[in-house]
Amino acid sequence: MGIVLRPFRVGDEEAIVASANDRDVWRNLRDRFPHPYTLDDARWWVANAPATNWVVEVDGVFAGCIGWTQGTDVFRRSAEIGYWLGRAFWGKGIATEALLISTERAFTTTDIVRLHTGVYAWNPASARVLEKCGYVLEGRTRNAVFKDGQFVDELLYARIKT
């Protein structure tokens, strides 16, 4: 399986919508990720995606997205990492491989020394991806997230550059 992380480009929009417009994808992401996810949302994202966000492509097919946002001020050497895949790509090791590639990219091409993310407690598959990639559970914030009409704990994971 050929997994590549590449920049977003015009022409990705329909594939993004086909994967992103899924309630179960949205349910594990921040509310700034729209639902329903429209072609206009995808056009905006392709035009405005930060340089540290990429398409996860599997054998030439759009599978999802991954990227990080570097902190500022005293957090400037840390970044929050995030990812999502379309349902058709779940459970195949793709998220793990993409996270390994992105983590390595962050640690070798920037001065970032810490990558971190939060996972909703109802998403153990994503927690397992992080653990397989060397991320360590640093804590649980109880009822920290209000998503889809309910409170859920957030699991905080991080990986430190060695």
Q: What is the mean pLDDT of residues 82-97?
A: 97
Q: What percent of the chain has pLDDT over 90?
A: 98
DSSP bridge partners of 3: 58
Instruction: Give the model's pLDDT for residue 107.
Output: 98
Instruction: Give the model's pLDDT for residue 98.
Output: 98
Cα 160 to Cα 79, 131, 140: the distances in Å are 11, 13, 18
Instruction: Give the model's pLDDT for residue 16.
Output: 98
Instruction: Give the pLDDT confidence of 4-31 residue by residue, as tens digits.
Output: 999 999 999 999 999 999 999 999 999 9
Structural domains of the chain sorted by starting position, each given as residue range(s) with its CATH number in brackets: 3-160 (3.40.630.30)
Instruction: Give the model's pLDDT for residue 30.
Output: 96
DSSP bridge partners of 5: 56
What is the maximum span of the chain, computed from C-alpha positions, in angstroms? 41
Instruction: Give the pLDDT confidence of 28-85 residue by residue, as tens digits.
Output: 999 999 999 999 999 999 999 999 999 999 999 999 999 999 999 999 999 999 999 9
Cα 30 to Cα 27, 49, 101, 154: the distances in Å are 8, 16, 23, 12
